[in-house]
Amino acid sequence: MQKWTKNVGSLISYAERIFPDVEIVTRNLSGEITKSNYGEVAKRAKKLGSSLEKYGIKHGQNVGSLALNTYRNMEMYFGISGMGAVMHTINFRLHPEQIVYIINHAENRIIFVETVFAPLLEAIQDNCPTVEQYILLCSAEEMPETKLKNAISYEEFIKDGDEKYEWPELGEDAPCGLCYTSGTTGNPKGVLYSHKSTLLHTWAGSSANGMGLSADDSILMVVPMFHVMGWGLPYIGAMNGIKLVLPGMGMDGAALVELIQKEDVTLAFGVPTIWLGLLGYCEENNIKLDNVKQTIIGGSAVPYAMIKEFDEKHDVNVVQGWGMTETSPLATATLRTPAMDKMPKEERYKLQTKQGKPIYGIELKIVDDDGNRLPEDGEAFGKLLVRGPWVNKRYYKHDEDAIDADGWFDTGDISSIDPEGYMTIVDRAKDVIKSGGEWISSVDLENAAQSHPDIMQASVIGVAHPKWDERPLLLVVPANDKKDKESIYSFLEDKIAKWWKPDDIVFVEELPIGATGKVLKIELREQYKDHLMK
Ligand code: ADP
């Protein structure tokens, strides 16, 4: 058979030829909705690629971006990687010190930045000596006053680019993308994706057993494009001619519902916290999400109550996906099966709270602390290890591999696997609660609590206890301002083991949310560390 070393730029060239008119819809910073399409994105990506080449960016160099989900970001995904450089997405919600670390570590020479984030970079640019030029994601007319070094608008930068530019042939393992994990402890770690791993992930992710996407779909991409290469959706979209709806800054319920209704969204992607807000907005305003068929939710555990609400109120099926920066990200998914359709609803919802079955290419195993393989009986749980062609081998610029001799990567998650192959996250290793030597799953407790009608959001952490080392503390964001501990305790009674009962319930106005939309348990643990010691 033939040698095949295409780079990811080939995806947008394919879309340009086969799906030129399929729309890429963006909500601009001004709030208005503008339309591009794959044909346009491809031409402009090529202009960008050739402009970067002319500037002197070399193959393998990391080009930084602090960018929202917009058509320009799509162009960067293909223009930067396609010309042989590395699309280095930077999470603009990180602490500025972490952003400085990441820019220096990646040795970015150019950074593309939204005008709204210019002040953030102005404040730190003196600490980022490798950066030669900042390119603002706007037209020449929209350029703000800025002190950023050699600032120029994106439109000016690509103006003389070649829209017929041809993507170079790159080596099999040439890098195309770079993402840093948010690193709750220590410095962020970079995961460098290759063209090959990305193309394989794109195929597997779009297959019927991956996320089951097709040209009939219109996808609302709420997941930020800096979060693990936008869960691969820019690539999957181009390969399959999928309409992409990109919300820019408009992440509130009203803005999302407007896009869903106007753009006939059939599928939406994001983390649970985003959907909490959207469901709340729909409830308050008596809105049903008519055209949406499915939501694909991942990043943290999807509560039972959310799966039920999507199904019963909106007729929307929830597909849960599990993955991490180190797995590109898609590794497992809980797709709707004919068997699920025959189950009583409650049983199906329960199954959908599992993180899912591995897609082809990904292997999973669970092991005890000594590395012994544990049975896949749905009961035993231990460290979750993963292996596959789009799984990290070595963190960027690290000296040692992050995998063992057989290629297994330790995810830091504690899981069980059932006889049918469904994997369930019991907890993140660092979040599991150890009470008198026994383990309590914070995820299970949260799931149980979250079904209480007066609970909008729940988080469970382990806090120090004089007798049991650690005991669970339940933090609750109340719905409708109802704060009744006794009602919550009696609700939990038949849903959890007696000794799992949280030692206390604390009502809070909101929970701290991290840079990728997950509850920051590390902060909660610090804040409440003495709560049960008094
Ligand atoms: P960050 O922590 O910076 O957001 P990742 O996105 O790489 O970085 O996080 C990966 C982790 O997120 C996984 O190891 C797992 O603990 C958690 N996670 C991802 N998807 C799910 C899911 N569907 N259910 C439970 N946990 C999940």
The pLDDT, as a whole number, for residue 105 is: 98
Up-side HSE of residue 159: CA atoms within 13 Å toward CB? 10
Contact (Cβ atoms closer than 8 angstroms) between residue 55 and residue 83:
no
Domains along the sequence of the chain with CATH: 18-341 (3.40.50.12780), 433-533 (3.30.300.30)
Distance 271 CA to ligand 1 centre (A): 10
Burial class (CB in 10 A: 0-12, 13-18, 19+), 86: buried
The pLDDT, as a whole number, for residue 25 is: 98
Determine the Cα–Cα distance for residues 302 and 62; give it in Å rounded to an integer: 34
Q: What is the pLDDT of residues 214-233, one digit of tens each?
A: 899 999 999 999 999 999 99
Q: What is the pLDDT of residues 69-123, one digit of tens each?
A: 999 999 999 999 999 999 999 999 999 999 999 999 999 999 999 999 999 999 9
Determine the Cα–Cα distance for residues 396 and 179; give it in Å rounded to an integer: 10
The pLDDT, as a whole number, for residue 183 is: 61
- Whether the pLDDT of residue 184 is over 70: the answer is no
Share of the chain above pLDDT 90, in %: 95
Can you tell me which atom of ligand 1 is nearest the CA of 227?
A: 6
Q: What is the pLDDT of residues 384-432, one digit of tens each?
A: 999 999 999 999 999 999 999 999 999 999 999 999 999 999 999 999 9
Residue with the smallest CA separation from ligand 1 atom 24 is 301
Share of the chain above pLDDT 70, in %: 99
| Residue of 324, 395, 430 to mutate, ligand 1, most atoms within 8 A of C-beta | 324
Can you tell me which atom of ligand 1 is nearest the CA of 324?
A: 7
- Whether the pLDDT of residue 11 is over 70: the answer is yes
Of 35, 510, 16, give the one whose Cα is nearest residue 263: 35
Determine the Cα–Cα distance for residues 487 and 476; give it in Å rounded to an integer: 13
The pLDDT, as a whole number, for residue 534 is: 73
- Token pair for 134: 């900042």
- Whether the pLDDT of residue 208 is over 90: the answer is no
Burial class (CB in 10 A: 0-12, 13-18, 19+), 22: buried
Of 230, 295, 292, give the one whose Cα is nearest residue 265: 292
Q: To the nearest whole number, what is the mean pLDDT of the chain?
A: 96
Q: What would the DSSP string read from start to end of 457-511?
A: EEEEEEEEETTTEEEEEEEEEESTT---HHHHHHHHTTTS-GGGS-SEEEE-S--
Contacts of 284 (CB under 8 A, 6+ apart): none
Average pLDDT, stretch 232-255? 96
Up-side HSE of residue 367: CA atoms within 13 Å toward CB? 14
The pLDDT, as a whole number, for residue 171 is: 85
Distance 299 CA to ligand 1 centre (A): 4
| Residue of 300, 332, 442 to mutate, ligand 1, most atoms within 8 A of C-beta | 300
